[in-house]
Amino acid sequence: RQCRYNTKSNKQRIVKTPGGKLTFQAVKKASKGPKCGDCGKALIGLPRLRPMEYRRLKNREKRVSRAYGGSRCAKCVRTRIVRAFLIEEQKCVKQVLAEKLSAAKEPKAKKTKK
């Protein structure tokens, strides 16, 4: 390496070669790894690589075979699905209640006309 300063990208460690000599070995930066976009926890099943090394991976190695795989953790996906289901159920309940109210009002309206 040409850079002589102790910078973040220029870390080295001393390694003993098979011949018995001590030499410097360049150390790559440690990666933080992929995190869940909702809760911030580390994603399971994905390698901890530097951004440039992710480009070289195949798509099947970059994600998990699940909805939002490689972007959100399993717990957050589950809560998203449950939330969406409950919102749809709430819409159905509102519609049924509105129909009941309209059905209850119609007979009263007919009686008052007579």
Q: pLDDT at position 108, please?
A: 72
Q: Quick check: 43 and 70 in contact, CB under 8 A? A: yes
Confidence (pTM): 0.70
- Residues 6+ away with beta carbon under 8 Å from 49: 31, 33, 57
Q: pLDDT at position 110, please?
A: 66
Q: pLDDT at position 107, please?
A: 76
Q: pLDDT at position 112, please?
A: 61
Q: pLDDT at position 2, please?
A: 80
Q: pLDDT at position 3, please?
A: 83
Q: Quick check: 47 and 31 in contact, CB under 8 A? A: no
Q: pLDDT at position 109, please?
A: 67
Q: Average pLDDT of each block of 10 consecutive residues along the chain (114 residues)?
A: 86 95 93 93 94 92 93 95 96 94 80 59
